[in-house]
């Protein structure tokens, strides 16, 4: 089902604006400055499936199918109401595992209907993005600064629940929930165990459909991945990395521009980043993420033509350009920072990372020139141009790193055809990455290799769907699929757990996030390159529509602009020619 339709069907809006909420009269005016209406929406969702219970006798866990029915969040003590009854004998712990069908952000609402105890009962609640994670134990590792699976959001909780009443637990990313009753000789009755989905209730203005349902599923999954991360601020992950990361931000921004158009979460998050990392600090403590800040500003300006917001960031943009320039020598040597970061999978290839890092800097300086032209800052235009020119006096090789070759092609310092033939297109989706996959696809497009890109999309992002994904992951290698169980299945003996047995760097095993916004860039790529909609003039005043259908028979979709939605449909004729139909607002010129 289309995610937007699903949201409408479930909608239980509690507040959207984020402005000061209206309080009961008992609260005086002094509360106005310390209250805020929750701008996000809550929806309660019953599980779609009871995945498993620990009871093989049918005596300890009864009527579990009750939990699949709609609820009303009201406890009930009447004798006619059916409950899911969970009982512990003196030696066993009774458990139940619930599947909510989709990756969600939020928590769990339990509605209870009495128990065998006068006191509260003790339960263990485990949230999981996969079946394996929901059945796992939280770990705290001694390596890598003691990272644990509970670092950013608590997913394994032992707590007391009331005999009769309602209680809410958790705030994390999950699809599965396991409930264990911990006290011996105890019975609890659960009337409802509904997930709390917390999300931004905004329309999907952009759309994509084609003669290939697999591509359609990939497009909407990328859109939903970023949508879940559009919380009060734009996060990169709803379980882990619940922070504003400026590099990770760029693929999400591209998705937001493609699917939602203007949304306040973008300027709000950029404002916050500048507050958290004032100059001369680098964004998130990483110089490469300050480069992404400039690229993000340019793409946001081209989508929305928001001059007031650009003006607000004038001082930071100009100051950042001067700071970068001051660290580049005339021979192209630069000393921005000893820490060079592109993405995690590229990390071992230090020479490749170095060349990719420099290409990213050239790209950022190119966008900085355009931004300063709009701002009327001719000196900064010259400084950025001179800095890029100095860098290009020392161009390094890609060292067989797809991330580096892709950035060099995008920055115009390596012929895209050469970049793709030598590196990016080699072995298809192998050595792709979720974050930099967008720029690898962009390099293929620049080389005129859209057909190859489509096949990689089907294999790589489609590979996650094959393994049960309903959102795209922090990292993925096609090789992981071999002899691995899907995330929505128990792992048979002798097979790999694709969630628990893989992951690296800061995301080993179940710490690995299965909803990471930086993996969503494929959505914008499909709109730009298959539907063929590209922005030519700031504010979408001019759009180029140039489709690349490849083996598709047709493609249709929409694209949001500040003036309204543009609708496009391309149909391949019997003679191979493409018939195009376009509906656009009068203010938007189609090229």
Say if residue 147's pLDDT is above 80.
no
CB count within 10 Å of CB 118 equals 6
Q: Which carries the bigger pLDDT value, residue 224 or residue 22? A: 224
pLDDT at 190: 97
User: 432: how many CB neighbours lie within 10 A of its CB?
Assistant: 26
Give the mean pLDDT of 511-530: 97
Q: Quick one: average pLDDT of 350-355? A: 97
> Which pLDDT score is estimated for 142?
53
Overall average pLDDT of the 11-39 stretch? 68
Tell me the two tokens of residue 471.
């959102």
User: pLDDT higher for 76 or 330?
Assistant: 330
* Average pLDDT across the chain, whole number: 93
Phi-psi region of 406 (alpha: psi -120 to 50; beta: other; left: phi over 0): alpha
Q: From the options 3.40.50.620, 1.10.10.10, 1.20.1250.20, 1.50.10.10, give the CATH code of 207-474+513-535.
A: 1.50.10.10
Supply the pLDDT for residue 80. Answer: 85
CB 521 within 8 A of CB 527: no
Written in H, E and C, the secondary structure of 317-349 is HHHHHHHHHCCECCCCCECCCCCCCCCHHHCCC
List the structure tokens of 133: 């994670």
pLDDT in tens, 431-457: 999 999 999 999 999 999 999 999 999
Min mean pLDDT across 22-31, 234-243, 410-419 is at 22-31
- Distance CA(269)–CA(323), nearest Å, equals 22
Residue pLDDT, tens place only, 85-134: 999 998 889 999 999 999 999 999 999 999 999 999 999 999 999 999 99
Confidence of residue 480 (pLDDT cuts 50, 70, 90): very high
Residue 56: CA atoms inside 13 Å, Cβ hemisphere, count?
1
Q: Are 543 and 589 in contact (CB under 8 A)?
A: yes
3-state helix, strand, coil in the chain (%, to 5): 35, 20, 40
pLDDT at 161 over 80: yes
Half-sphere exposure at residue 309, Cβ-oriented, CA atoms within 13 angstroms: 22
| Contact between residue 419 and residue 356 where contact means Cβ atoms under 8 Å apart | no
Structure tokens at 369: 């020139």
CB 490 within 8 A of CB 178: no
Residue 320, pLDDT above cutoff 90: yes
Strands 484-485 and 496-497: parallel
Residues in the chain, how many? 591
Q: Tokens 């917001």 belong to which residue?
A: 309
**CATH number for the domain running over 44-199:** 2.60.120.260
φ, ψ (nearest 5 deg) of residue 357: -60, -45
pLDDT of residue 92: 87
Residue extents of the structural domains in the chain:
1-39, 44-199, 207-474+513-535
Q: What is the pLDDT of residue 418?
A: 98
Residue given tokens 């309660």 in the structure block: 44
CB 67 within 8 A of CB 193: yes
Report pLDDT for 17: 32
Lowest mean pLDDT across 60-64, 196-200, 388-392, 503-507: 503-507
**Is residue 223 over pLDDT 80?**
yes
Percent of the chain with pLDDT over 70: 95
Question: Is residue 20's pLDDT more than 90?
Answer: no
């Amino acid at each position: 089902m289309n995610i937007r339709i699903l949201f409408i069907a479930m909608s239980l809006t509690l507040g959207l604006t984020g402005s000061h909420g209206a309080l009961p009269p008992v609260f005086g005016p002094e509360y106005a400055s310390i209250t805020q209406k929750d701008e996000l929406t809550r929806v309660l969702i019953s599980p779609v499936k009871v995945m498993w219970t620990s009871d093989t006798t049918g005596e300890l866990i009864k009527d579990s199918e009750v939990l699949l029915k709609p609820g009303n969040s009201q406890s009930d003590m009447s004798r006619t109401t059916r409950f899911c009854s969970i009982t512990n004998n003196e030696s066993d712990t009774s458990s139940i595992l619930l599947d909510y069908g989709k990756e969600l952000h939020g928590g769990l609402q339990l509605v209870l209907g009495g128990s065998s105890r006068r006191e509260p009962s003790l339960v263990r609640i485990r949230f999981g993005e996969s079946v394996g994670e929901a059945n796992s134990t939280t770990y705290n590792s001694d390596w890598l600064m003691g990272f644990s699976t509970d670092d950013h959001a608590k997913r394994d909780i032992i707590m007391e629940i009331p005999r009769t009443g309602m209680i809410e637990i958790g705030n994390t990313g999950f699809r599965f929930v396991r409930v264990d009753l911990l006290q011996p000789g105890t019975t609890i009755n659960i009337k409802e165990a509904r997930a709390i989905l917390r999300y931004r209730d905004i329309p999907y203005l952009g759309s994509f459909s084609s003669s290939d349902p697999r591509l359609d599923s990939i497009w909407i999954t990328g859109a939903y991945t970023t949508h879940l991360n559009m919380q009060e601020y734009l996060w990169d992950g709803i379980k882990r990395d619940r922070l504003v990361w400026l590099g990770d931000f760029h693929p999400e921004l591209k998705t937001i521009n493609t699917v939602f158009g203007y949304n306040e979460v973008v300027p709000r998050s950029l404002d916050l980043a500048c507050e958290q990392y004032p100059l001369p600090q680098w964004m998130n403590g990483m110089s490469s993420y300050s480069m992404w800040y400039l690229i993000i500003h340019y793409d946001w300006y081209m989508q929305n033509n928001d001059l007031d917001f650009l003006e607000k960031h004038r001082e930071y943009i100009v100051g950042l350009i001067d700071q970068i320039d001051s660290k580049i020598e005339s021979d192209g040597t630069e000393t921005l920072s000893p820490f060079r970061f592109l993405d995690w999978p590229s990390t071992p290839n230090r020479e490749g990372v170095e060349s990719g890092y420099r290409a990213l800097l050239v790209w950022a300086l190119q966008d900085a020139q355009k931004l300063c032209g709009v701002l009327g800052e001719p000196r900064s235009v010259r400084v950025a141009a001179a800095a890029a020119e100095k860098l290009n006096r020392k161009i390094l090789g890609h060292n067989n790193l797809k991330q580096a070759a892709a950035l060099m092609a995008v920055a115009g310092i390596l012929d895209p055809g050469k970049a793709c033939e030598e590196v990016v297109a080699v072995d298809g989706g192998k050595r792709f990455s979720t974050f930099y996959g967008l720029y690898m696809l962009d390099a293929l497009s620049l080389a005129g290799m859209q057909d190859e890109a489509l096949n990689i999309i089907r294999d790589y992002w489609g590979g996650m769907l094959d393994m049960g994904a309903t959102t795209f992951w922090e990292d993925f290698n096609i090789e992981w699929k071999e002899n691995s169980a899907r995330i929505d299945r128990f792992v048979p003996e002798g097979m790999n757990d694709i969630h628990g047995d893989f992951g690296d760097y800061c995301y080993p095993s179940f710490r690995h996030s299965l909803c990471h916004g930086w993996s969503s860039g494929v959505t914008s790529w499909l709109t730009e390159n298959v539907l063929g909609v590209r922005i030519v003039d700031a504010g979408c005043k001019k759009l180029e529509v140039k489709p690349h259908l490849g083996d598709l028979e047709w493609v249709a979709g929409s694209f949001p602009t500040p003036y309204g939605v543009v609708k496009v449909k391309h149909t391949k004729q019997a003679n191979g020619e493409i018939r195009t139909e376009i509906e656009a607002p009068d203010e938007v010129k189609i090229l």
